[in-house]
């Protein structure tokens, strides 16, 4: 009996003892197995095959580091080293709730099936903890459960998958490919980071190939980190230096010999001589005292790619650039050099949108199923836009109107009320009224706006207040905590601008496409389109986080009312949240018995 008790206590204390002190690279070298589906050399993981990975991996499990940022080329093994290995480490060595954030839900599923499941299957210490074959294990494609935690894979484009999941470890892959907003809910990375707040020992890993300068999240994260560059000693003089494309020497007529010129002593050495020094390489930090560890790598450092391949891709891309196609050179800069491509931030061409106007032949096109409006309140005028909505949130500008007057007097308020109450007509004479209006309550006439809206609650005229920041949801529940006790909606205006700009870039008629009328009386002048595109999204860094801010393209031109109004009219649609369908057709919900309202709206 005593022997049995001793054995029981030995097993209990064996389970309670702390995990062995291993760095991430040590764990990978000891336990990780590479799968045939993802590796040309399946079997035991060896960090020495890619020496630059060691310091980055060990930073992930460093107790003094809570955030690691990696801006890198495409073919340096970052997914294996910095997404899969941390998953394996924490499952086996330090069980925790983990989230893997991929650009899309589809990519999250692909990652799970093609990368994560094979690793679990082929790494014994992981397959012992996660039984994917058991129907009662609770495991799915997007969630793997193990004792002490889980791995949940989500898409940055899916707001629902980012909500209400407390996590300790966030592994954010290809962050430059994330949408600026997850649906209407705000910045996906910031939404995911909110899930970490309950853990003092949280970890964040942000990994990505960079994209466009000024809109690259990973570049901004890197710029606010330690900024560590991979340095290698010269085979001749031994001086450490980063690997720069400018130092690569080749003859484009004969690529059999590619060399590298030492930036310190000028000696020319071969690729093999330099790669022989990689085992001695190290990262050198520009700002070693910063809390966020940031690393940069280009493909010259990769042990998986020959320099000849890099040069061939450059020559091909450069030749196409000479012919006017700059895209391959942009891709080469991003994926081979791990650098952003410098160009103006993404902007909409207002003159092109102006040219896209079309003749409706009537006030309201037949495809329009519902009208909404936005009202902007200025000191000496109201500006109003009426927008028509169809299937798939295809939109039609109906009327843009400016109403001048003294807002201290009732006449202009009465005129506004009459405008919002009027009928608009389709070609066959069918009348339509504005279903919902959002009215800006900022400025000097806040209480007047409140009273105006309260008196027209039956017309669904709502006061709104805009809040900046793409981490702010587009539509929030209304409050009545104001002097007039009117329903006030708080609107995430930057999130709305992001959604709008995405729609303005749709070029094919159909879902999300934006139509504009050519009729002179409709008010869609060249100045309207200049105002509609007056702002642009710019990536910036605030309180330790990369965020998107909307700023004027030209500080001297501040007439952005058309942008705000389309935003408000869109918010009105989201508040009503109708199911828009083609007239005469029933949606699936209607077929199941849901009440259907005539006019194509449920």
- The answer to whether 340 and 210 have CB atoms below 8 angstroms apart is yes
Better-predicted residue by pLDDT, 108 or 595: 108
Calculate what percentage of the chain has a pLDDT beyond 90.
Answer: 72
Query: How far apart are the C-alpha atoms of 32 and 19, rounded to whole Å?
Result: 17
The pLDDT of residue 149 is above 50: yes
171-182: average pLDDT: 93
pLDDT at 6: 62
Q: What domains can you pick out in the chain, each with its CATH number?
A: 17-44+56-227+286-308 (3.40.50.300), 230-285 (2.30.30), 350-591 (3.30.420)
Pull the structure tokens for residue 325.
């196609």
- Helical ranges in 347-479 per DSSP H: 350-355, 410-421, 446-454
pLDDT at 460: 96
pTM of the model: 0.79
Query: How far apart are the C-alpha atoms of 233 and 282, rounded to whole Å?
Result: 9
505-533: average pLDDT: 94
The pLDDT of residue 593 is above 90: no
Q: Which of 67, 62, 63, 53 is nearest to 25 (CA)?
A: 53
Pull the structure tokens for residue 24.
């991430």
pLDDT band at 288 (very low <50, low <70, confident <90, very high): very high
Q: How many CB atoms lie within 10 A of CB 484?
A: 19
Query: How far apart are the C-alpha atoms of 539 and 314, rounded to whole Å?
Result: 28
Pull the structure tokens for residue 48.
């020495």
The pLDDT of residue 588 is above 90: no
Round the average pLDDT of the chain to a whole number and report it: 89
3-state secondary structure of 340: coil
Give the DSSP H/E element, type plus range, for residue 516.
Answer: none
pLDDT at 274: 96
pLDDT winner (highest mean) among 7-16, 130-139, 302-311, 344-353: 302-311
Give the DSSP H/E element, type plus range, for residue 185.
Answer: none
Calculate what percentage of the chain has a pLDDT beyond 70.
Answer: 91
pLDDT band at 591 (very low <50, low <70, confident <90, very high): very low
pLDDT at 594: 34
Beta-carbon contacts of 303 under 8 Å, excluding residues fewer than 6 positions away, are: 49, 50, 51, 275, 278
Query: How far apart are the C-alpha atoms of 482 and 331, rounded to whole Å?
Result: 52
Q: pLDDT by residue (tens digit) across 270-285?
A: 999 999 999 999 999 9
Query: How far apart are the C-alpha atoms of 461 and 441, rounded to whole Å?
Result: 12
- Rg value, the chain, Cα: 29
The pLDDT of residue 408 is above 90: yes
- The answer to whether 69 and 218 have CB atoms below 8 angstroms apart is yes
293-321: average pLDDT: 94
CA atoms within 13 A on the CB side of 483: 8
- The answer to whether 35 and 1 have CB atoms below 8 angstroms apart is no
pLDDT band at 321 (very low <50, low <70, confident <90, very high): confident
Q: pLDDT by residue (tens digit) across 334-361?
A: 999 999 987 654 457 899 999 999 999 9
Task: Out of 362-366, 491-495, 543-547, 558-562, pick the least confident.
Answer: 543-547
The pLDDT of residue 452 is above 90: yes
Strands (E), 461-578: 461-467, 488-492, 514-515, 535-542, 545-552
pLDDT winner (highest mean) among 26-35, 176-185, 188-197: 26-35
pLDDT at 239: 95
pLDDT at 342: 78
pLDDT at 595: 32
């Amino acid at each position: 009996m005593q022997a049995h008790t001793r054995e029981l206590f030995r097993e209990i204390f064996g389970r309670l003892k702390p995990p062995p002190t291993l760095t991430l690279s040590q764990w990978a070298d000891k336990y990780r197995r590479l799968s045939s589906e993802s590796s040309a050399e399946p079997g035991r993981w060896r960090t020495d095959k890619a020496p630059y990975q060691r310091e980055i991996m060990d930073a992930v499990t460093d107790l003094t580091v809570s955030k690691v940022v990696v801006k890198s080329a495409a073919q340096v093994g970052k997914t294996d080293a910095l997404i899969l290995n941390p998953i394996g480490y924490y499952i086996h060595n330090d069980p925790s709730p983990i989230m893997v954030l991929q650009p899309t839900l589809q990519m999250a599923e692909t990652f799970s099936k093609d990368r994560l499941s094979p690793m679990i299957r082929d790494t014994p210490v992981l397959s012992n903890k996660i039984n994917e074959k058991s129907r009662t294990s609770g495991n799915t494609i997007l969630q793997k459960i193990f004792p002490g935690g889980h791995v949940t894979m989500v898409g940055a484009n899916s707001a629902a998958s980012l909500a209400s999941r407390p996590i300790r470890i966030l592994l954010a892959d290809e962050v430059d490919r994330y949408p600026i907003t997850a649906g209407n809910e705000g910045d996906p990375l910031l939404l995911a980071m909110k899930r970490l707040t309950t853990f003092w020992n949280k970890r964040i890993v942000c990994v990505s190939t960079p994209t466009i300068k000024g809109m690259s999240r990973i570049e901004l994260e890197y710029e606010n980190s330690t900024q560590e560059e991979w340095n290698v000693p010269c085979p001749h003089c031994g001086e450490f230096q980063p690997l720069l494309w400018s130092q690569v020497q080749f003859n484009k007529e004969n690529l059999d010999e590619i060399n590298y010129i030492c930036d310190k002593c000028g000696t020319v050495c071969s690729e093999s001589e330099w790669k022989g020094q990689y085992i001695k390489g190290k990262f050198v930090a520009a700002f070693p005292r910063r809390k966020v560890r940031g690393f940069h790598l280009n493909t010259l450092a990769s042990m998986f790619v020959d320099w000849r391949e890099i040069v061939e891709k450059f020559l091909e891309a450069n030749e196409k650039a000479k012919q006017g196609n700059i895209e391959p050179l942009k891709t080469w800069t991003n994926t081979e050099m791990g650098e952003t491509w410098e160009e103006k931030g993404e902007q909409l061409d207002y003159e092109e949108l102006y040219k896209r106007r079309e003749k409706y032949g009537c006030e309201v096109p037949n495809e329009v199923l519902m009208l909404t409006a936005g009202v902007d309140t200025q000191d000496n005028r109201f500006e109003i836009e009426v927008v028509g909505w169809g299937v798939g949130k295809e939109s039609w500008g109906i009327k843009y109107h400016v109403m001048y007057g003294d807002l201290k007097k009732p006449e202009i308020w009465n005129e506004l009320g009459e405008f919002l109450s009027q009928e608009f007509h389709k070609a066959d004479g069918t009348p339509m009224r504005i279903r919902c209006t959002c009215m800006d309550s900022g400025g000097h006439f806040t209480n007047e706006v409140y009273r105006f809206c309260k008196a027209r609650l039956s017309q669904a005229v709502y006061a709104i207040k805009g809040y900046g920041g793409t981490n702010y949801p587009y539509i929030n529940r209304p409050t009545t905590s104001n002097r007039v006790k009117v329903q006030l909606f708080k609107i995430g205006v930057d999130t709305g601008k992001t959604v709008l700009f995405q729609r303005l870039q749709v070029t094919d008629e159909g879902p999300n496409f934006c139509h504009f009328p050519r009729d002179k009386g409709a008010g869609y002048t060249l100045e309207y389109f200049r105002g509609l595109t007056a702002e642009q999204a710019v990536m910036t860094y605030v309180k330790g986080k990369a965020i998107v801010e909307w700023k004027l393209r030209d500080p001297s031109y501040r007439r952005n009312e058309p942008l705000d109004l389309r935003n408000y009219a869109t918010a009105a649609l989201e508040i009503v949240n109708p199911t828009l369908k083609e007239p005469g057709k029933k949606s699936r919900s209607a077929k199941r018995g849901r009440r259907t309202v005539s006019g194509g709206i449920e």
